[in-house]
Amino acid sequence: MFNRNRCLRPVAALASLSLATGCGLFSDSGSDNAEPIVVGTTSAPSSLDPAASWDGSWELYRNIYQTLLSYPNGATVPEPDAAESCEFTDASNTEYRCLLREDLTFSDGHALDADVVKHSIDRIRAIDVPGGPAGLLGTLDRVQIRGDHEVVFHLKTSDATFPFVLATPALSLVDPEHYPADALREGTDVTGSGPYRLASYDENSRAELVRNDNYKGFAERRNDAVTIRYFQDSGEMVQALKAKRIDVTYRGLAADDIVSLQDQNPDSGLQLVEGTGTDISYLVFNPKDEMAGEPAVRRAVAQIVDRAAIVHNIYKDTVEPLYSMVPKGVTGHTTGFFDDYGEPDAAKARELLTEAGITAPVKLTFWYTSDRYGSETAVLFKELKRQLEESGLFEITLKSRPWKSYVEGYQKGEYPVFGRGWFPDFPDAENFIAPFVGDQNALGTPYPAPEITGTLLPRSRKQRDRAQIVDDFEEAQQILVDDARLLPLWQGKQFIAASEEISGGERALDPSTIMMMWQLSRKTSW
């Protein structure tokens, strides 16, 4: 049984669509570090404790905590950060050894040694938050320490992707004096060893980051302070950018705002950067619900949903239709849902229900989060409701909650059907399948899938050459299509909007498109 993973997308090959004259986001002509750079996003943390979160909280963690491995400039595979070196010590990929840097400390001066590494990782599994990052460690057997600076990870089975796991912000290193072994840390204080320390935090409002003078790692900080502002609405965030109350917008630009920025006057003083992305949007069906648990109902929904209409009408072609949980651009991608269902067809959907003895209209409740994936989310679900009800086969009730309570609800199995987004941990097909299957997964909704968890994933993890995994992941994707418990909708693109005064955007996204705030700087000459 496999119980791992969260999310990953390869670093976007960014192409500048500059809306400003003169220097673009990619040039660097000096910087002024005195004034904090203000970054806007709609992705607020759900928790400040890495043991609790397998979600967008990682965007903050990457900047205030440290991991053994990370992604130095231009790297697409993990390289040492808190570690001085790491490597597999056997041909079977079951023993992974790391040596720590000398004299590491946390922001408060406490020592960071091998005991800290073991404590940080063991507590994730001990606390075992439902839908939390313990699922990333499904192949880990035990953590062994040898002296103050050597850590050895013993794996239950071969896992060539384990270094990628160690590089995720979920595996952030925490101070045992402040982070209990069997409980989450309460409050808004943070003790990390990352490039910044968290000077202050106002939940769902802002995070104030200042330089951590005790930091030892690969990051070369191009600024001394960053303020992250959390917005509930994309439009409000863009207005703040135009009014120069923020310098950069990152996560959560709405389609209308992207189109507006694309049409912006060249003298506006703003820049828009577009890059390929591998974030995905999908529906989850709860197998314990009377109707959502019926395969024929799920397949009928899959037969009706019109992705092209969603992409064009709701997202203004700022996203792409997605017909598999593994997005285009990732090795092993297929178009299984299109291959099996073709174009939307209500008549075929009716046949599926009739053959299963299910009488229409089928009543379902669709849940979505009101403040997580951008302001189009509510419009998307209204469009899904329209499409399904127009077929005459469904009656859809829509409900929503703010992210924090929304997560609690789906982890308790309260929703018949609910929407999720996925920003991958690392650019590998495994990261778009493994997180969602097994008794413990990122959705808090058990999905045994024994062929995937027992055969396909273990076999693929023996391959360090990931080009050799295509057949296994094509088979895994077909199993997901046949079950139709997860219904992919669209694949995103990456957009960053910024003042023309900001440099460093071309360096700022790691391979999981998490922003490394230390790469941003403010220009002083033109």
- Distances in Å between the Cα of 450 and the Cα atoms of 143, 456, 476 are 27, 9, 11
**Phi and psi, residue 462, nearest 5°:** -80, -10
Q: What's the pLDDT score for residue 262?
A: 86
**β-pair partners for 497:** 249, 272
Q: What's the pLDDT score for residue 508?
A: 86
- Distances in Å between the Cα of 473 and the Cα atoms of 23, 94, 161, 302, 324 are 43, 21, 15, 21, 11
pLDDT of 10 strictly over 90? no
Q: What's the pLDDT score for residue 33?
A: 52
**β-pair partners for 83:** 100
Q: Which residue has the higher pLDDT, 525 or 496?
A: 496
Q: What's the pLDDT score for residue 34?
A: 65
Q: Which residue has the tokens 């800290």?
A: 116
Q: What's the pLDDT score for residue 28?
A: 38
199: confidence class by pLDDT, cuts 50, 70, 90: very high
Angle formed at CA 499 by CA 498 and CA 503, multiple of 5 degrees: 80
Residues 6+ apart with CB under 8 A from 483: 295, 298, 449
Residue type, 179: Y
Q: Rounded distance, CA 240 to CA 249, Å?
A: 9
**Phi and psi, residue 55, nearest 5°:** -155, -160
How do the residues of the chain divide into helix, strand and coil, expressed in percent and rounded to 5? 30, 25, 45
13: confidence class by pLDDT, cuts 50, 70, 90: very low
**β-pair partners for 502:** 522
Quick one: DSSP state of residue 57? Answer: T
Q: What's the pLDDT score for residue 494?
A: 82
Question: How many CB atoms are located within 10 Å of the residue 478 CB?
Answer: 15
For residues 57 and 418, the answer to whether their CB atoms sit within 8 Å is no
Calculate the average pLDDT of the chain. 89
Sign of the dihedral through C-alpha 425, 427, 428, 432? positive
Are β-strands 79-80 and 69-70 bridged in parallel, bridged antiparallel, or unpaired?
antiparallel
Q: Rounded distance, CA 446 to CA 442, Å?
A: 9
Q: What's the pLDDT score for residue 400?
A: 97
Residue type, 166: L
Q: What's the pLDDT score for residue 1?
A: 29
The structure's pTM equals: 0.76
Tens-digit pLDDT profile for residues 247-299: 999 888 888 888 888 887 777 889 888 777 888 999 999 999 999 999 999 99
Tens-digit pLDDT profile for residues 377-422: 999 999 999 999 999 999 999 999 998 899 999 989 999 999 999 9
> Can you give the three-state secondary structure of 210-242, one letter per residue?
EECCCCCCCCCCCCCEEEEEECCCHHHHHHHHH
**β-pair partners for 272:** 17, 497
Contacts from 205-211 at CB under 8 Å and sequence distance 24+? 205/229, 205/230, 206/230, 207/45, 207/60, 208/36, 209/63, 209/64, 209/517
Q: What's the pLDDT score for residue 131?
A: 78
pLDDT of 3 strictly over 50? no
User: What is the percent of the chain where pLDDT is above 90?
Assistant: 70
Quick one: DSSP state of residue 50? Answer: G
For residues 3 and 441, the answer to whether their CB atoms sit within 8 Å is yes
